[in-house]
Amino acid sequence: MIWHCAEFEFDTRMPTVMGILNVTPDSFSDGGDHADFAVAVERALAMVKEGARIIDVGGESTRPGSAEVSIDEELARTVRVVSELAAHGVCVSIDTRHAAVARACVEAGASIINDVSGFRDPAMVEVARGCSAGLVVMHMQGEPKTMQDNPVYDDVVEDVKRYLRDRAAELEAQGIAHERICIDPGPGFGKTPKQTNELLLNMHQFARLGYPLMVAVSRKSHIGALYGIENPKDRDEVSAKQALEAVELGASVVRTHNVALTCEALKDLRPYCFLGLGSNVALVGEAGEEREAKIAVLNEVIGNLAVLPDSQLIDVSSFYESEPAYFEDQDPFVNAVALIRTGIGPHDLLAYAHAIENRFGRTRTVKNGPRTCDVDILDYQCYRCDDERLTLPHPLLTERDFVVKPLLELRPGHVLANGTAVSEQTVEVGHAVKLDQHF
């Protein structure tokens, strides 16, 4: 998936670091540090050298309890800095909730509009429609001045996910391309530390929406509350660690104050891998229990994946019942796709997959025939091979309905390591229907 931001493009299969440049006197952790024009430009260019591919310029503090500044003051703080950085070839984001500021900064060269109010203002939507800038749609309950008074949710993950899905859909209905939109769950914006932590533990749920996903936890108060770190500038190490964890769960844009430390942490990012799971041999004696037995086998297989060394089980699709493909004279299958992050190389991972299959009595006497369980490596990040043991991406992936549907459930618009986009338009075999049961 590519995030289109005016003339800049960012491949979301690898994380993009966005450096924070607050040109304000009162931001919560660095207010006044970069209020001087020359100091601000120098700091921005230093962050670019450290690894930032985007610089996010903010002229109004939106810390909890902050008061709104005048449009003229925000313009005076931001436009000149944006123009100078754009002249240096930097991809500049303007962090604002005011349409007039967004418009002026886009005209000055900004390629991204980062709106903490989620483009609720129709005037801001009009600015977005009139340009080609990338958009960051953030969730915030209430307004900065009052957002932390008493944030309440029925289910914080589902409520925020629904909001972001609906706001993005409304922008698309206004003619804004899907590829321009990035979403941000807004940690710390109208959320308690516990609610923010719950969002971070469930970032994979937001990745399922099919948009580039931002993680913006840098120096925020939940880190102070959860780890007892009072000084915001002392929260950088935890911020970088949480950013890495969020990227492993599906975030693709990292907004940070400390670019160098964050880039160093992201070096530990493990490749993602999609695994196809299937079963059509029921290990039960009574008729009518076959489907549940197949699901039980897959649940045990998923449990085995969860304990692979140097790996993390990120997400599992719904279960799907599918028609047999290729060798059709056999029982229906139950299928799913699992997403992991792993430090195990592809060929060694294949050996682990075969060991799991063998543990469940997999037989290979009939090609594409009945099996208690099947574990296929479908796509391994940035890796292509074709040898006697393994072909990646899986050569039949895109024609199999029982693989395409669950994979797209996890990552809509996914592009394989060989550049092929996964789409239901290429499906030819194995018609699949989603079941009510989940892992």
| Whether 338 and 203 share a structural domain | no
Using DSSP's 3-state secondary structure scheme, residue 81 falls into helix
Q: Out of 251, 266, 281, pick the residue that ends a domain.
A: 266
Residue 313 covered by a domain: yes
| Whether 202 and 236 share a structural domain | yes
> In sequence order, what E strands does 234-373 have?
253-256, 272-279, 311-316, 320-322, 333-342
The encoded tokens of residue 382 equal 């940035």
Name the active-site residue from 220, 291, 294, 411. 220
Beta partners for residue 380, in sequence order: 273
Q: What is the pLDDT of residue 144?
A: 65
The encoded tokens of residue 201 equal 């533990």
Expressed as residue numbers, the domain containing 151 is 2-266
| Whether 80 and 212 share a structural domain | yes
The tens place of each residue's pLDDT in the chain, 439 residues long, gives: 899 999 999 999 999 999 999 998 755 555 556 668 899 999 999 999 999 999 999 988 776 665 678 899 999 999 999 999 999 999 999 999 999 999 999 999 999 999 999 999 999 999 999 999 999 999 988 776 655 666 789 999 999 999 999 999 999 999 999 999 999 999 988 899 999 999 999 999 999 999 999 999 999 989 999 899 999 999 999 999 999 999 999 999 999 999 999 999 999 999 999 999 999 987 665 445 789 999 999 999 999 999 999 999 999 999 999 999 999 898 999 999 999 999 999 999 999 999 999 998 877 778 888 888 999 999 999 999 999 999 999 999 999 999 999 999 999 999 999 999 999 999 999 999 999 877 6
Residue 439 covered by a domain: no
pTM for the predicted model, two decimal places: 0.91
CB-CB contact of 273 with 349 (8 Å):
yes
Q: What is the pLDDT of residue 286?
A: 46
| Whether 241 and 333 share a structural domain | no
Q: What is the pLDDT of residue 66?
A: 57
How many Å apart are CA 112 and CA 135, to the nearest integer? 6
Number of domain units in the chain: 2
| Whether 137 and 187 share a structural domain | yes
CATH number of the domain at 140, please: 3.20.20.20
Q: Out of 244, 266, 288, pick the residue that ends a domain.
A: 266
| Whether 245 and 126 share a structural domain | yes
Name the active-site residue from 63, 208, 219, 255. 255
| Whether 176 and 249 share a structural domain | yes
| Whether 310 and 403 share a structural domain | yes
The encoded tokens of residue 408 equal 């797209």
Using DSSP's 3-state secondary structure scheme, residue 176 falls into coil
Label the pairing between strands 333-342 and 311-316: antiparallel
| Whether 114 and 262 share a structural domain | yes
Q: Out of 213, 239, 266, pick the residue that ends a domain.
A: 266
Beta partners for residue 158, in sequence order: none
Closest CA to 165 of 206, 124, 135: 206
| Whether 279 and 253 share a structural domain | no
How many Å apart are CA 275 and CA 374, to the nearest integer? 10
| Whether 17 and 74 share a structural domain | yes
Using DSSP's 3-state secondary structure scheme, residue 207 falls into helix
Per the annotation, the verdict on 255 as an active-site residue is yes
| Whether 34 and 149 share a structural domain | yes
Residue given tokens 């109004």 in the structure block: 60
